[in-house]
Chains A and B, each alone.
Chain A
């Protein structure tokens, strides 16, 4: 079924940058689209960004457009989220999720990495 493990979270000053990573194992990473979803303290889930299996298409929530970029390295089975110009409202637990084949819902999620701005 597979595993996902996020890393790279931490404490950063407003205006700063962080790069999150999501290491995948146990499935053919290059066959699946991936997304990032976040949960601010005491709040619900918020979709952040998505990338298709080949990196041809990327998508972003309006709240992060122009500040965040998503990328993947299929040779390293790793997904990335580059976060620039961070704001206090970006404070959240960030999850990566493997998308079901040819669909945009997540059937495998990591435990999350905490970003505090």
Chain B
């Protein structure tokens, strides 16, 4: 089973700041990684797939990078609607798995 470790667990930042979230896999998953945004009371929203491809309708301030075991989701300038929990998700091997999440909160 592939374990995904996200860091930090909580990121405190102000609107307009850059946020950098990390996801590390326990073994290589090539680029088979997705990122989701999850707000309380809402369904998760796909942000990124194949590590660096933005999903339909996702603003350009979101970017993804990485391959193998180390991945990053960056938000170039935080907007009020970006404060949420972010999860990485590997689909390289069964069983599929999610990271523990990073909560991006207002500083």
Contact = CB atoms under 8 A, between A and B. Distances in A.
Nearest to B49: A105
Contacts of B55: 107
Given A105-B49, A106-B46, A112-B43, A44 B91 contact: no
Interface in B69-93: 85, 87, 89, 91
Interface stretch (A8-16, A45-53, A68-76, A78-86): A45-53
Contacts of A106: 36, 44, 46
A63 B83 CA distance: 31
A104 B91 contact: yes
B95 A109 contact: no
Interface of B is mostly: loop
Interface in A85-117: 95, 97, 100, 103-107, 109-112
Interface string B35-67: 010100011111001000001100000000000
Interface residues of B, number: 24
Interface of A is mostly: strand
Interface residues of A, number: 23
A35 B45 CA distance: 15
A103 B91 contact: yes
Interface in A24-65: 35, 37, 44-47, 50, 59-62
Closest 9 pairs (CB-CB, A-B):
A109-B43, A104-B91, A105-B34, A47-B96, A44-B101, A45-B98, A107-B46, A44-B100, A61-B95
